[in-house]
Amino acid sequence: MVTARAGRAARTRRCRLSAGDWKRAPGATLGALVFCVLCACGMCLGGCSAIGSGRPAEPLAASGMPATARPEGPPGAGRPPDGAWDALTDQPIRVGLAASVESVVVSARGAFSLTVYSGAARRLQASSGEEWTFVGTDAGITARSSGGQSLELAQGTVRLRPEAPAAMVVNGVAYRGEIEVYPAAPGSLTVVNVVGMEAYLRGVVPGEIGARSPAEIEAVKAQAVAARTYAAASSGGRAAGDFDVLATIADQLYQGADFEDPVCDRAILETAGLILTFAGRPAHTYFHSTCGGRTAARHEVWELGELPYLRSLPDGGGRASRPDDAWCRSSPSFTWTVSWTGDEVARLVRGQLPAVASTPVREPIGDIVGLAATERSPSGRVRWLEVRTTSGTYRVFGDRVRRLLLRPDTGGILRSAWFDLDVKTSGGRVVRVTARGRGNGHGVGMCQHGALGQARAGRSCEEILAHYYPGTALARLRDVW
Ligand SMILES: [Zn+2]
């Protein structure tokens, strides 16, 4: 049997740990595939198998990126010229829109065709506005259209293609490229958007860095390169679903064709095909909202190996050693303070500690009698947090402390692991804890607010990338992938 999927170009499968890995979030909507199912390299530690224990949820744009102010200047000031995209020779990427769901509704903004790759290929024509509802069954997939057509397949793929350059629409969201629907586990199906890399980025970059001013385009270009590098490094990363990346913050948030932005579009075009490499392979281009004055080395915050281009760096201009002179100092999360009552801390420890402690926790945990940062990394972040209870003393490593001390206002993870603690006790028990901290995010790689600050100061995309990923090289994706 020859399917469309079988026909795609084979690519090297490799460790998928890469930029944005740590943005994996519990509660992402795609069910069983929302975790790292592939990486057997051992680098991911608990993060692969237990989202709650290893990987901070960090929807960057939603949790601290600057407000998505509309671009300044005249309308269209940052818009690429018509036809600019046509000149690109784009490489396809497979984006999982829905994995193991019961059903999906697909239409298009124009006429489209359906080709069934199951045994002999069969083609059906759909008119503009015609809606096809696909349902997973125990025997495969059934589909019916609002125009009275139907199909069934036990295995293989249905490929939906627009007749002219027009968006396909999946559950109400418009996407460039083509759509594939195929059976997953009994009673479920998977929906994939097969789209060119640059078209994919048009739906990703605005969500990662917001709609920016033309004056900030060099930072947006840096973001485009980082996001493209992430996608390149993720090739084959979701092999269990037969796609490369998910459309959620589990990989990079992909919002489709209706959220494209002219400045982001221009940034993508001006960097088209460029990724960052190290030793000839796509680099791990982690990025985060706000470093707070100094970025973190990867091995400081996660139990991962040291990488020369992911080291701790001052995020500063002239007086680089002073955190308050940092490029990201205008971030609303540059400094922050949060406070918990003793009862709130006790609830957090009981609820979170078993998942984040470096050693097994004895139950019942008992009363909280102490909380202290006993060791700091060179960048100033908490390396070990010690929790003392009446049942024992436990330690929490690096960025995992953010999953212990959830924010009292939102219940989300703490903004960063760079904080000082003020702990008040009474009668031998903790009754109040205050954290005064800096930054938002894990701190590794590119500081997005810092990149924006550098762009506003006149620094180029290349300078920004060289600052945050020293020792990496810009390369053509087609030469690497
Ligand atoms: Zn910064």
Q: What is the pLDDT of residues 103-143, one digit of tens each?
A: 999 999 999 999 999 888 899 999 999 999 999 999 999 99
Instruction: Give the residue-averaged pLDDT of 364-372.
Output: 95
Domain total for the chain? 2
Cis ω before 162 (30° cut-off from 0): no
Instruction: Give the residue-averaged pLDDT of 45-51.
Output: 24
pLDDT surpasses 60 at 258: yes
Residue 82 confidence (pLDDT)? 60
- Tell me, yes or no, whether 112 lies in a domain: yes
pLDDT surpasses 70 at 51: no
Residue 80 confidence (pLDDT)? 60
Ligand 1 center–CA 232 separation, angstroms: 25
Tokens standing for 255? 């919002």
Residue 346 confidence (pLDDT)? 96
CB atoms within 10 A of CB 385: 24
pLDDT surpasses 60 at 77: no
Ligand 1 center–CA 224 separation, angstroms: 18
Residue 294 confidence (pLDDT)? 95
Looking at 438, 455, 470, the residue that finishes a domain is 438
Looking at 134, 154, 187, the residue that finishes a domain is 187
Residue 33 confidence (pLDDT)? 26
Instruction: Give the residue-averaged pLDDT of 144-160.
Output: 94
Ligand 1 center–CA 332 separation, angstroms: 12
Confidence of residue 88 (pLDDT cuts 50, 70, 90): low
- Tell me, yes or no, whether 300 lies in a domain: no
Q: How far is CA 116 from CA 125, 156, 167, 253, 260, in A?
A: 11, 8, 20, 29, 31
Whole-number Å distance between alpha carbons of 98 and 397? 34
Residue 320 confidence (pLDDT)? 52
The residues near 443 (Cβ < 8 Å, ≥ 6 apart) are 288, 291, 292, 294, 295, 296, 301, 379, 381, 416, 417, 418
Listed residues: CB within 5 A of ion ligand 1 = 291, 315, 328, 447, 450
Ligand 1 center–CA 331 separation, angstroms: 9
pLDDT surpasses 60 at 18: no
pLDDT surpasses 80 at 15: no
Supply the DSSP string of 353-365, one letter for each residue.
Answer: HHHHBSSPPPSS-
Ligand 1 center–CA 291 separation, angstroms: 4
Ligand 1 center–CA 454 separation, angstroms: 10
pLDDT surpasses 50 at 38: no
Backbone CA torsion sign across 461, 467, 473, 478: negative
- Tell me, yes or no, whether 50 lies in a domain: no
- Tell me, yes or no, whether 339 lies in a domain: yes
Confidence of residue 222 (pLDDT cuts 50, 70, 90): very high
pLDDT surpasses 60 at 65: no
Instruction: Give the residue-averaged pLDDT of 185-198.
Output: 95
Ligand 1 center–CA 467 separation, angstroms: 11
Q: Are strands 140-145 and 150-153 parallel, antiparallel or unpaired?
A: antiparallel
Ligand 1 center–CA 287 separation, angstroms: 10
Ligand 1 center–CA 448 separation, angstroms: 7
pLDDT cut 70: percent of the chain above it: 81
Instruction: Give the residue-averaged pLDDT of 231-239.
Output: 85
Ligand 1 center–CA 293 separation, angstroms: 5
pLDDT surpasses 70 at 297: yes
**Phi/psi at 106 (nearest 5 deg)?**
-125, 135
Ligand 1 center–CA 19 separation, angstroms: 17
- Tell me, yes or no, whether 80 lies in a domain: no
Backbone CA torsion sign across 47, 17, 406, 442: positive
161-170, 353-362, 445-454: range with lowest mean pLDDT = 161-170
Residue 241 confidence (pLDDT)? 80
Ligand 1 center–CA 326 separation, angstroms: 6
Ligand 1 center–CA 451 separation, angstroms: 8
The mean of the pLDDT values for the chain is: 83
Burial group, residue 337, by CB count within 10 angstroms (0-12, 13-18, 19+): exposed
- Tell me, yes or no, whether 240 lies in a domain: no
pLDDT surpasses 90 at 430: yes
Residue 177 confidence (pLDDT)? 95
The residues near 314 (Cβ < 8 Å, ≥ 6 apart) are 293, 294, 320, 321, 323, 326
Closest CA to 128 of 166, 173, 159: 166
Boundaries of domain holding 183: 103-187
Ligand 1 center–CA 407 separation, angstroms: 21
- Tell me, yes or no, whether 398 lies in a domain: yes
Backbone CA torsion sign across 32, 224, 45, 39: positive
Q: Which of 85-89, 315-319, 342-346 is most confident?
A: 342-346
The torsion angle over the Cα atoms of residues 285, 32, 102 and 194, rounded to 10 degrees, is 30
For the entire predicted model, the pTM comes to 0.79
Looking at 128, 154, 187, the residue that finishes a domain is 187
Ligand 1 center–CA 74 separation, angstroms: 30
Ligand 1 center–CA 35 separation, angstroms: 28
Residue 121 confidence (pLDDT)? 86
Whole-number Å distance between alpha carbons of 444 and 297? 6
pLDDT surpasses 50 at 284: yes
- Tell me, yes or no, whether 236 lies in a domain: no
Q: Which of 5-14, 31-40, 43-52, 361-370 is most confident?
A: 361-370
Ligand 1 center–CA 419 separation, angstroms: 15
